[in-house]
Amino acid sequence: MTEKIPVTVLTGYLGAGKTTLLNRILTEPHGKKFAVVVNEFGEVGIDNDLVVGADEEVFEMNNGCICCTVRGDLIRIIEGLMRRKGRFDGIIVETTGLADPAPVAQTFFVDQDVSEKTRLDAVITVVDAKWLGERLKDAPEARNQIAFADVIILNKIDLVSADELATVEAQIRTINPYATLHKTERSAVNLEAVLGRNAFDLDRILDIEPDFLEPGHHHHHSAEIGSIALTVPGDINPEKFMPWINEFTQTHGPDILRCKGILSFKNEPKRFVFQGVHMILDGDLQRDWKPDELRQSKMVFIGRKLDRAMIEKAVEATRA
Amino acid sequence: MSTAPHTSLTAHVMPIEIGEHVLRCGFIGQQPVLALADGQVVFVKEDGLTRTRPHGDAAILLAHIRHDQILTGGEDGRVIRSLADGRIDELGNEKGRWIDALTASATGAVAWSTGKHITARDSKGEIRTREAPSTVQGLSFLPKGYRLAYSHYNGASLWFPNSEANPDSLEWKGSHIDISSSPDGRFVVTSMQENTLHGWRLSDKKDMRMSGYPAKIRSLSWSHDGDWLATSGAEAAVIWPFKDKDGPMGKPPRECGVRPAKITQVAFHPNALVLAIGYEDNCILLCRLTDAAELLVRVPVKGQGSITALAWDKTGKKLVFGTSEGAAGLLTLP
pLDDT at A66: 66
Residue A287 within any structural domain of the chain: yes
Please give the residue of chain B at the shortest CA–CA distance from A116.
B215
Residues of B in contact with A61 (CB under 8 A): 174, 193-194
Cβ within 8 Å, pair A62-B98: no
- Contact criterion met (CB below 8 Å) for B197 and B191: yes
Residue A138 within any structural domain of the chain: yes
Cβ within 8 Å, pair A53-B98: yes
- Contact criterion met (CB below 8 Å) for B284 and B300: no
Specify the CATH number for the domain of residue A274.
3.30.1220.10
Please give the residue of chain B at the shortest CA–CA distance from A79.
B61
Please give the residue of chain B at the shortest CA–CA distance from A53.
B97
Residue A100 within any structural domain of the chain: yes
Number of separate domains in chain A: 2
Residues B156 and B197: their CA atoms lie apart, in Å, by: 13
pLDDT at A224: 77
Residue A48 within any structural domain of the chain: yes
B38 CA: distance to closest CA in chain A (Å): 7
pLDDT tens track for A121-130: 999 999 999 9
Check whether residue A299 and residue A240 sit in a common domain. yes
Residues of A in contact with B175 (CB under 8 A): 59, 62, 72
Residues A154 and A295: their CA atoms lie apart, in Å, by: 34
Domains (range + CATH), chain B: 1-63+212-334 (2.130.10.10)
Last residue of a domain, one of A201, A216, A244: A201
Cβ within 8 Å, pair B193-A62: yes
Q: Give residue A270's domain range.
A: 225-316
Residues B174 and B290: their CA atoms lie apart, in Å, by: 35
Helix (H, G, I), strand (E, B) or coil at A204: helix
B206 CA: distance to closest CA in chain A (Å): 20
CA-wise closest residue to A173 among A146, A204, A138: A146
Check whether residue A304 and residue A177 sit in a common domain. no
Across the interface, which of A73, A75, A84 has its CB nearest the CB of B38?
A84
Residues of B in contact with A73 (CB under 8 A): 135
Please give the residue of chain A at the shortest CA–CA distance from B325.
A83
Q: In which band, very low, low, confident or very high, does the pLDDT at B3 lie, cut at 50, 70 and 90?
A: very low
Q: Any CB–CB contact under 8 A between A52 and chain B? A: yes
Q: Taking the CA atoms of chain A, what radius of gyration do you get in angstroms? A: 20
Contacts 24+ apart (CB under 8 A), B236-240: B236/B263, B237/B263, B237/B266, B237/B275, B237/B277, B237/B287, B238/B210, B238/B212, B238/B213, B239/B275, B239/B289, B240/B197, B240/B210
From A208-222, B103-117, B230-244, the region with the lowest mean pLDDT: A208-222
Which is it for strands B41-45 and B31-36: parallel, antiparallel or unpaired?
A: antiparallel
Cβ within 8 Å, pair B153-A84: no
Please give the residue of chain A at the shortest CA–CA distance from B75.
A52
A213 CA: distance to closest CA in chain B (Å): 44
Cβ within 8 Å, pair A72-B192: no
pLDDT at A43: 56
Check whether residue A173 and residue A80 sit in a common domain. yes
Helix (H, G, I), strand (E, B) or coil at B86: coil
DSSP for B28-75, written as a single string: ETTEEEEEETTS-EEEEETTEEEEE-TTTTSPEEEEEEETTEEEEEET
Give the dihedral sign, CA A62/A67/A72/A78: negative
What is the ipTM for the molecules in this complex?
0.90
Cβ within 8 Å, pair B135-A72: yes
Interface of B with A (CB under 8 A): 20-21, 23, 37-38, 59, 61, 75, 96-98, 100, 115-116, 134-135, 137, 153, 173-175, 192-194, 215-216, 324
At what angle are helices A140-148 and A162-175 packed, to 10 degrees? 70
- Segments of chain A scoring below 50 in pLDDT: 1, 213-222
Residue A211 within any structural domain of the chain: no
What average pLDDT does the structure give for chain B? 95
* Half-sphere exposure (Cβ direction) of A208: Cα atoms closer than 13 Å: 26
pLDDT tens track for B256-313: 999 999 999 999 999 999 999 999 999 999 999 999 899 999 999 999 999 999 999 9
Strand order in the sheet with B117-121: B101-104, B110-114, B117-121, B127-131
Which is it for strands A118-128 and A5-12: parallel, antiparallel or unpaired?
A: parallel
pLDDT at A216: 42
At what angle are helices A72-81 and A101-110 packed, to 10 degrees? 50
Check whether residue A129 and residue A74 sit in a common domain. yes
Check whether residue A21 and residue A113 sit in a common domain. yes
Specify the CATH number for the domain of residue A94.
3.40.50.300
Helix (H, G, I), strand (E, B) or coil at A240: helix
Check whether residue A128 and residue A19 sit in a common domain. yes
Check whether residue A231 and residue A170 sit in a common domain. no
Q: In which band, very low, low, confident or very high, does the pLDDT at B141 lie, cut at 50, 70 and 90?
A: very high
Cβ within 8 Å, pair B98-A80: yes
Check whether residue A126 and residue A174 sit in a common domain. yes
pLDDT tens track for B22-52: 999 999 999 999 999 999 999 999 899 999 9
pLDDT at B119: 98
How many Cβ atoms are within 10 Å of B104's Cβ, its own excluded?
23
Residues A107 and B72: their CA atoms lie apart, in Å, by: 28
What is the identity of the amino acid at A258?
R
Last residue of a domain, one of A201, A235, A262: A201
Residues 3-42 of A with CB under 8 A from B: 41-42
- Contact criterion met (CB below 8 Å) for B106 and B65: no
Check whether residue A147 and residue A265 sit in a common domain. no
Residue A217 within any structural domain of the chain: no
Residues of B in contact with A62 (CB under 8 A): 173-175, 192-194
Q: Taking the CA atoms of chain B, what radius of gyration do you get in angstroms? A: 19
Cβ within 8 Å, pair A83-B324: yes
Which is it for strands B101-104 and A118-128: parallel, antiparallel or unpaired?
A: unpaired
Check whether residue A142 and residue A29 sit in a common domain. yes
- Contact criterion met (CB below 8 Å) for B313 and B18: no
Residue A165 within any structural domain of the chain: yes
Residues B102 and B112: their CA atoms lie apart, in Å, by: 4
Q: Any CB–CB contact under 8 A between A65 and chain B? A: no
Answer yes or no: is pLDDT of B145 > 80. yes
Cβ within 8 Å, pair A83-B175: no
pLDDT tens track for A130-179: 999 888 888 888 999 999 999 999 999 999 999 999 999 999 998 998 89
pLDDT at B2: 47
Q: Any CB–CB contact under 8 A between A62 and chain B? A: yes
Cβ within 8 Å, pair A80-B59: yes
Q: What pTM, to 2 d.p., does this model score?
A: 0.89
A52 CA: distance to closest CA in chain B (Å): 8
Helix (H, G, I), strand (E, B) or coil at B45: strand
* Half-sphere exposure (Cβ direction) of A2: Cα atoms closer than 13 Å: 12
DSSP state of A236: B
- Contact criterion met (CB below 8 Å) for B59 and B98: no
A35 CA: distance to closest CA in chain B (Å): 13
- Contact criterion met (CB below 8 Å) for B267 and B276: yes
pLDDT at A200: 85
Check whether residue A31 and residue A95 sit in a common domain. yes
Residues A305 and A116: their CA atoms lie apart, in Å, by: 34
A53 CA: distance to closest CA in chain B (Å): 7
Residue A137 within any structural domain of the chain: yes
